[in-house]
Structure 1
Amino acid sequence: MRCPYCSAPDSKVVNSRPSDDGASIRRRRECLNCVRRFTTYERAQLEPLMVVKRSGPREAFNPDKLLRGLTLASEKRPVDPAALRAFAYGFEDEVQTAEIPATEIGRRAMTFLRPLDDVAYIRFASVYRDFDSLERFIEEIRGLKGREDSPAQDDAPAPTPDGNGTPS
């Protein structure tokens, strides 16, 4: 494994253990040249998940690209980076098809972010949905607010003939 710091071609494995529920192996390595340590992850690579872009071309799914988008949306927010990493690197395992539209990846990412943090959700949505005006941004925030209010209304007892919530 080439060292990411000095580009030396040789390193030694210092520690190795299962990661991501056994789906990958985490290895701590030490460069034989500069003696700095770094971490690598090894996964079995089967048929790569292909992403169908909006404009038509296909490209291999890259969890780092998804993680970068989630991280940018969650910057300076109380969102656990480990949760973002687990979602991005576990995404490919959750998809049951050989290819997926890019829009579906964005939709699933928004569904993932929604319960974690409203601001991160809105930030991601603003890029994913390509808000072109302030009105569109405000409309999304109002929709978010409406979804917060809905569960509380569902939990309220249904009105009864006597008006106090108890059956007559």
Structure 2
Amino acid sequence: MFCPYCSSENSKVIDSRDSADSIRRRRECLACSLRFTTYERIQTRTLAVVKRDGNREDFDTEKLWISVKNACAKRPLPIGSIDKVISDIESDLAKLSRAEISSRAIGEMVMNSLRNLDRVAYIRFASVYRDFRDIENFKDEVDALLEPKTNDTDNSQLSFLDDEIPVKKNKKRVRKPNTTISTVK
């Protein structure tokens, strides 16, 4: 493991902890004595992305992260929200257990996530992803975003129409009744 400070290859592991999907290791460089953290994750098989022109390339998390970051630039988003979007998409892709997926399906997953996170970021991403040609395309997309959905169709039943895009259903919060009993003397 290379030290990020001095590039030395000599380091020792001080602490290791398991997390849900990785192992966190705290390391100390033997050359400069500075400490740094690494995360190790099991590498699953590579997911191939089928592009619009039919070419295939390996899924690149960094490319996805950059495109989402650009869409969210200068937006007042909570810290870590972009990382959570990327993590959720990666998790959804892993759950599909497929060897390849279309770039269109990944784009739709990103747009679904951004629609719930920030409308401006959604429009920015959609304008590039859907290749808006003129102002009318923007207007149509904004109008669709502002209109409340009247479609009562369960989208999870429509997977045969297109690539399998995981549909996340919003969990309804149930308020728990107050169970404390107070006695009056």
Structures share fold, TM-score greater than 0.5: yes
- Contact kept, 8 Å, 1:64 with 1:88, in 2: the verdict is no
Match of 1:116 in 2: 117
Aligned residues: 148
CA RMSD in angstroms, aligned pairs only: 2.3
- The SS at the match of 1:114 is helix
Query: Normalising by structure 1, what TM-score?
Result: 0.74
CA gap of 1:119–1:15, structure 2 versus 1, over 3 A, is: farther
Match of 1:24 in 2: 22
- How high is the sequence identity, in percent, across the aligned residues? 49
- The SS at the match of 1:41 is strand
Aligned match for 2:66, one of 65, 68, 71: 68
Unmatched runs of 5 consecutive residues or more in structure 1: 155-168
Amino acid aligned to 2:87? Y
Q: Supply the distance in 1 between the matched residues of 2:51 and 2:112 (Cα, whole angstroms).
A: 20
Match of 1:3 in 2: 3
Match of 2:145 in 1: 144
Q: Supply the distance in 1 between the matched residues of 2:132 and 2:100 (Cα, whole angstroms).
A: 26
1:95-122, Cα deviation, whole Å (9 max, x unpaired): 3311111111110010011111101111
Superposition pairs for residues 31-110 of structure 1, below 5 Å? Answer: 31-90=29-88, 91=90, 92-110=93-111
Unmatched runs of 5 consecutive residues or more in structure 2: 153-185
Cα drift, residue 43 of structure 1 = 1.2
